[in-house]
């Protein structure tokens, strides 16, 4: 087995997770990487600026 092409280090970025609750109460977690995670974080940050006093919802995102 031998590496070819881009380096392994550059191939996949940081992992993000976003937890949601399904209608029947079970949890579901979206895992995203690289730009997807960056876009997600930017979206949530924008939402937070629009509604700084909003009640927490049943969603949580954290970087791992």
Partner 1 sequence: MSELRWNPLLGEWVATATDRQERTFLPPADFCPLCPTKPGGFPTEVPEPSYDIVVFENRFPSLRSDPPPPAVEGTELYPVRPGQGVCEVILYSPNHTTTLAAEPVEQIYKLVQVWTDRFLELGALPFVEYVFEFENKGEAIGVTLHHPHGQIYAYPFTPPRVARELEQARAHERKTGRCLLCDVVAEEKRDGRRVVVENESFVAYVPFFARYPYEVHVTSSRHLQALADMDGEEQRDLAEILKAVLVAFDRLFDISFPYMMVLHQRPSDGDNYDFYHFHIEFYPPLRTATKLKYLAGSETGAGMFINDTLAEEKAAELRSKVLPVVWGGEGGAA
Identity of the residue, 15 or 47, whose beta carbon is nearer to partner 1 in the bound complex:
15
CA dihedral of 41, 62, 29, 48, whole degrees rounded to 10: -50
Facing residues of 54 across strands? none
Give the pair of three-digit tokens for residue 15.
Answer: 């992992």
Nearer to partner 1, 11 or 48 (CB): 11
Choose between 52 and 64: whose C-beta lies nearer to partner 1: 64
In whole angstroms, the minimum distance from the beta carbon of 47 to partner 1 comes to 16
Closest approach, Cβ 34 to partner 1, in A, equals: 9
């Amino acid at each position: 087995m031998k590496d070819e092409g881009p380096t392994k280090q550059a191939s996949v970025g940081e992992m993000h997770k976003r937890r949601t609750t399904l209608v029947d109460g079970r949890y579901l977690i979206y895992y995203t990487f690289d730009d997807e995670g960056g876009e997600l974080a930017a979206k949530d940050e924008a939402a937070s600026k629009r509604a700084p006093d909003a009640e927490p919802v049943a969603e949580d995102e954290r970087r791992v």
